[in-house]
Structure 1
């Protein structure tokens, strides 16, 4: 029953966030200064980890697949295998996990601290909706930095895969990029961005909801941060699987 109630409150909060994001942006009531500050703060805690995660991920994929394709004499396909793996799965999942970890912790801890100091109740007493004033800017900030994180992961992951394939496994640069361009399509990029925006929505709503409902002092804040990270990672994996299945059904991989 508690899980059902929490899910219902998350759905209601998500609907409010989306509605206020549209109406406040169109009516110019959105606190744009807060939006820019939050976007920069979230980008600072996720950009460098994105680089540090993307490089070993691309290298790991290249090492594993290079050994496999070399066994069957098809090392010219290393570019397609590693590039498409990074583009379709590595980039959105890495960006999502970073948002679900670093960004979610920052959002949940901020709201949790405000909740135990009764700042949110004070805003409501003054007639200010915390969802419109605090949650919406963080939601839009995550949407704003999502394409940046995705591009960083794609560039670093494919670059690392290219270096491993050419320097270690003797794959010619021309065959790597030729096979990558033959299988990677723009629809993959759009699905990757779509996954990133979906993950950003999940992270913003869940982290805000768990932080705003924190109770019991500092331990309650820690519990809210832990719960938000766990729920975000779980939902990101499940949603990624669902979107990947839809992509595979309607847009199967084929030579461009």
Structure 2
């Protein structure tokens, strides 16, 4: 019996080293598609309202509770340093600027990614493994326009609103702890705040919140649309979405802060 011919060698698959680059490209492609589909009709207004209410309901109370110790820690640390340097009159301005520019948008974004983003990823991932998304595509319905766009927009709008609330609560918390625990002067605290703060500080804070909400929604949607395996894969996708979002948020925050400080001069400068 003649020997079997040897099987032809398999074509080499794509290098695993290129997988992160490929996934990054797919993430950017999804972001561009979400921006495009946002202006397509019909807009899923009811889905947007439902997702907006859900994300707000699971993040508003934790945001308010977390902002108080954040504002207190910043005020106490800054107050301690200014006392050592003999510049207690600048405590209020430095504390408020740190809360508004840095702490507030990051707190909101981390809560959006941890609570809202994980829920978005789990919902889309469960739909994917049940083949609901494939059925929608067969019926001519775009899953991105129908499901992803309302969720991403909801995360963005909730981020903007929560950022304002966290800024106010964090500022009040810092004022209370500085005046009560460190025996600061209320008038000097408010005067330094009005002397150093300016409207562009609030604008950059809201812009950060908007972009951070977009990033959290896009990353959660991407991982939810591309789970690996069954339910375990969905759980892994949720964990990955939160970790990836955290890394991107801190990197984007560094870039935006550097650009802002270069473009907008400090008040009085």
Instruction: Report the equivalent of 2:118.
Output: 105
How far apart in 2 are the matches of 1:197 and 1:109? 22
Q: Residues 148-187 of structure 1 correspond to what in structure 2 (within 5 A)?
A: 148-187=161-200
Note the alpha carbon deviations across 1:69-91, whole angstroms, 9 max, x for none. 11222212110111010011011
Show structure 2 runs of 5+ residues with no match: 1-17
Number of residues of Structure 1 aligned to a counterpart in Structure 2: 252
Q: TM-score, normalised by structure 2?
A: 0.91
Deviation above 2 Å: which 4+ runs of structure 1?
A: 252-256
- Alpha-carbon offset, residue 252 of structure 1: 3.4
Note the alpha carbon deviations across 1:56-75, whole angstroms, 9 max, x for none. 10000111111111122221
Show structure 1 runs of 5+ residues with no match: none
- Quick check: 1:204 aligned with 2:205? no
- Quick check: 1:20 aligned with 2:20? no
How far apart in 1 are the matches of 2:145 and 2:160? 24
Bigger Cα Rg: 2
* RMSD of Structure 2 on Structure 1 (CA): 1.2
- Alpha-carbon offset, residue 254 of structure 1: 3.0
Instruction: Report the equivalent of 2:109.
Output: 96
Note the alpha carbon deviations across 1:199-218, whole angstroms, 9 max, x for none. 11111111101001113111
Is the contact made by 2:109 and 2:212 (CA closer than 8 Å) also made in structure 1?
yes
Aligned equivalent of 1:223, options 233, 236, 244: 236
How far apart in 2 are the matches of 1:187 and 1:121? 45
Q: What is the DSSP-based 3-state SS (H/G/I as helix, E as strand, rest coil) of the residue aligned with 2:39? A: helix
Is the contact made by 2:157 and 2:210 (CA closer than 8 Å) also made in structure 1?
no
Task: From the two aligned structures, give the one with the greater helix fraction.
Answer: 1
How far apart in 1 are the matches of 2:113 and 2:197? 27
Instruction: Report the equivalent of 1:11.
Output: 28
Q: Residues 106-121 of structure 1 correspond to what in structure 2 (within 5 A)?
A: 106-121=119-134
Is the contact made by 1:116 and 1:215 (CA closer than 8 Å) also made in structure 2?
no
Q: TM-score, normalised by structure 1?
A: 0.95
Aligned equivalent of 2:49, options 32, 36, 48: 36
How far apart in 2 are the matches of 1:19 and 1:103? 23
Is the contact made by 1:35 and 1:138 (CA closer than 8 Å) also made in structure 2?
yes
